[in-house]
Amino acid sequence: MMRSFSFVGILVALGIAFSASAALKDAAPEKIAVAEPKVHNAVPATEVSAISDYIESKLNARFQLFSRAALNEMLKEDAFNQSGMVLDSGVQNQLAQQSVDLLLVYSVTKSGANYVVSMRVIDRATGAVRPGMTATFSAADLPHVYARIDAALDRMGLLENPAESVKRVAILPTQGNGSSERIVEGFGTKLATKLQQSALFEIVTRNDLGGVALENQLLTSSTIDPNDLHKISELRAADYLVVTSIPDYSIREISTQTAIAGVTTARYMMSARVEYRIVEVKTGRIIAQGNGHLQLRNTDIPADIRRDWAPHDYNDAFCEYAARWTIKKILDTLDPLVVAAVDGNTLYLSRSSGVFVGETYRVCDGGGKAVAHPKTGRALGQTLGQEIAHCKVSEILDLMAIAQLTAPAAGEIKVGAVCRPDQIADPVAEGNFLNDPSGSVPNYPAAQ
């Protein structure tokens, strides 16, 4: 009798559970409205409208959308000021009459070519921002704004099908160890900017990540205690920590020559050793490290561009060169390049950042598994898998690169196949970091 009663009890419990689940599934979705953004620095109206449309298209799968036109008309009467973090009672009542549960408010600023977007979601019932539903990011252009919107909405829990969580990266100030302060700061600024512009990561805001003692430890220690990292509040939210150093830098004259007109010109060589480490914050494990001795001659830069340059202009060009070399190393570790689509002899690669026209890659089927030292746990690299093709980058798009096969593939190239830089095409030796991803001349600094 007891056994029968238990069985009936289980059936009843399951029935209740299924009923509750069905009720939740059938419950009406929350209604959300997207307010007209607060715009700074004359962002074109067409771009503002496109951004709002894009946000609404991403929210539409999970929420019931309230008409933006109706919202604007309604809020106009209450003189809504979206710069605040709370709603006044008049706006709350207006939203309640239309059964609007959430209000997404955002602002967009344009500084040069860069966009800065700030978003927050206000709960109509409380009149305050819902916990965890705020985001601020920057992007290099409009396509990257869309990519960062996806990441921000995902992080705030607003997407129907959450994407893979965006990696959060903290960057320590570059150490100089004797190098000029201008070089160290210039390199560090360019590195952080390029990493942020890639739209692949969220850069953790930091004021002071522990000072020189921690920086020295992170650059020299073979093992790192994660507890030391977690003591720093900014790092608790980061997935990875990037540590860089330029132990030495020099710019020297290597030759002079006198032209027929009697004008004497000089040739300069800029050189430095750049070191980097990538640390997994959760475990304190060093997942990648390396260094490169980088050299740049003034003759590598077109003569018409450098005609009136002073030494500091060459320093700035070298910072650009070194930052592009380093960002490629970081991206190859944190976001390995893979095949995203195949169309005959054309391959579409998974990112554009850190990829340059003319580079060649080996396409490997499988592989990509991390290999660590069996005793120390130090990252040694990744397995390569079977090499099935070679390709050469022909074009850089906003968010991906296009490459062409250089010979017939030895097997089927599948989406997800790993692409690794070809050993015979060293991008440092070939000088490809001096080229803009589009293949055009980079924007070197103007002489001052």
Q: Name the more confident of 404 and 352.
A: 404
Residue 260: pLDDT band by 50, 70, 90 thresholds?
low
Cα gap 263→388, rounded to integer Å? 54
Would you say 346 and 403 are in contact if contact means Cβ atoms under 8 Å apart? Answer: yes
What is the pLDDT averaged over residues 254-271?
68
**CATH code for residues 168-333:** 3.40.50.10070
Residue with tokens 């069985």: 7
Cα gap 387→156, rounded to integer Å? 40
Tokens of 100: 């609007």
Question: 0.75 cut: is pTM over it?
Answer: no
pLDDT in tens, 21-44: 444 344 568 899 998 888 887 788
Tokens of 207: 């004021």
Domain ranges of the chain: 27-165, 168-333, 339-434
What is the pLDDT averaged over residues 337-346?
91
Residue 350 in this model has a pLDDT that exceeds 80: yes
Q: List Cβ<8 Å contacts ≥24 apart for 337-344.
A: 337/361, 337/401, 337/418, 337/419, 337/420, 338/415, 338/416, 338/417, 338/418, 338/419, 339/363, 339/413, 339/414, 339/415, 339/416, 339/417, 339/419, 340/400, 340/415, 341/415, 342/413, 342/414, 342/415
Concatenate the DSSP letters of all residues of 156-216 into one string: TT--SSPPPPPEEEEEPPPB-TTS-HHHHHHHHHHHHHHHHHTSSEEEPP-S-SSHHHHHH
- The overall average pLDDT reported for the chain is 76
Task: State how far Cα 343 lies from the chain centre.
Answer: 27
Tokens of 341: 């689509």
pLDDT in tens, 417-427: 889 888 544 44
Least confident segment among 86-100, 227-241, 344-358? 227-241
Residue 126 in this model has a pLDDT that exceeds 50: yes
Which of 137, 130, 132 lies closest to 151 in space, CA to CA? 137
Residue 403 in this model has a pLDDT that exceeds 90: yes
Would you say 334 and 350 are in contact if contact means Cβ atoms under 8 Å apart? Answer: no
pLDDT in tens, 163-206: 555 678 888 888 886 657 888 888 988 998 888 777 778 777 55
Helices (H) and strands (E) in the chain, counts: 12, 19
**Quick one: pLDDT at residue 18?**
40
With vertex at residue 55, the alpha carbon angle to CA 50 and CA 56, rounded to the nearest 5 degrees, is: 100
Domain spanning 339-434: which CATH class is it, in words? mainly beta
**Quick one: pLDDT at residue 174?**
87
**Quick one: pLDDT at residue 205?**
54
Residue 445 in this model has a pLDDT that exceeds 80: no
Cα gap 169→335, rounded to integer Å? 12
**CA-based end-to-end distance of the chain:** 94
**CATH code for residues 27-165:** 3.40.50.10070
Within this chain, domains 27-165 and 168-333 share the same CATH topology: yes
**Quick one: pLDDT at residue 408?**
93
**Quick one: pLDDT at residue 433?**
46
Cα gap 162→154, rounded to integer Å? 5
